Amino acid sequence: MTSRGEMAAAHADEISGAWARERPGLPVESIGIITRVWQAAKLLSEERRRTLATVGMDAATLDLLSTLRRSGPPYRLSTRDLAARCLVTAGAITQRVERARRAGVVRRLPPAPGSRLVFIELTEQGHREVEAGVDSLLCHEQSLVDVLEPAQQAQLARLLAQLLRGLADRP
């Protein structure tokens, strides 16, 4: 009996083969990469959502709290820096901050006299929650990639980084 994983992995080959048959000469090699990346992204996204649900957190909140936690003491960044590090717009970071503030996991600090910079700081509760969330998520996600040997994991990380650089640098 064919497993779900084997069927998912073969899907890209079926698509590629069908296009090669129907449109000889069409470059179909990318299908084996891009289709599998999309499939993996969907599966990983669902795994992440389920894992975060067990700790009562969504991906956007984890991103905000993790960014603050990784910044080091005093776990405080300007909204401008947060938006840049989270790769979201100023409007999106404002919404995330407000939701997190209402949950008690961050606090908004008033701007210094003569400044318009607003700083966001991780609260003690936020510190506890982000560490629990990150611990749970990273342990689970490591178990997902453990189907690959450590050297394969490192190679895949390098190849994906190279692909991302190439995609991001396109005009």
- If asked whether residues 23 and 69 sit together in one domain, one would say no
Q: Which of the pair, 1 or 73, is modelled with greater confidence?
A: 73
Question: Which residues, 6+ apart, have CB-to-CB distance to 76 below 8 Å?
Answer: 68, 109, 119, 120, 121, 122
- If asked whether residues 40 and 66 sit together in one domain, one would say no
Confidence (pLDDT) at 126: 97
Quick: pLDDT tens for 65-89: 999 999 999 999 999 999 999 999 9
- If asked whether residues 8 and 90 sit together in one domain, one would say no
- If asked whether residues 112 and 141 sit together in one domain, one would say yes
Say whether pLDDT at 161 is over 80: yes
CATH of the domain at 90: 1.10.10.10
- If asked whether residues 72 and 99 sit together in one domain, one would say yes
- Helices and strands, number each (H, E), in the chain: 7, 3
Question: What tokens appear for 134 in the block?
Answer: 């990150």
Closest to 130 measured CA to CA, from 64, 60, 65: 65
- The Cα–Cα gap between 122 and 75 comes to 6
Q: Which of 38, 54, 70 is the last residue of a domain?
A: 54
Confidence (pLDDT) at 127: 96
**C-beta of residue 133 within 8 angstroms of C-beta of residue 52:** yes
What percentage of the chain has pLDDT greater than the value 90?
85
Range of the domain at 167: 61-171
- The number of residues in the chain equals 171
- The Cα–Cα gap between 46 and 117 comes to 36
Quick: pLDDT tens for 28-79: 999 999 999 999 999 999 999 999 999 899 999 999 999 999 999 999 999 9
Say whether pLDDT at 116 is over 90: no
Please state at what angle helix 59-70 crosses helix 29-54, rounded to 10 degrees: 80
- If asked whether residues 133 and 81 sit together in one domain, one would say yes
- If asked whether residues 165 and 88 sit together in one domain, one would say yes
Neighbours of 97 (CB within 10 A): 19
Confidence (pLDDT) at 1: 66
**CA dist 61 to 20, 101, 106, Å?**
44, 10, 10
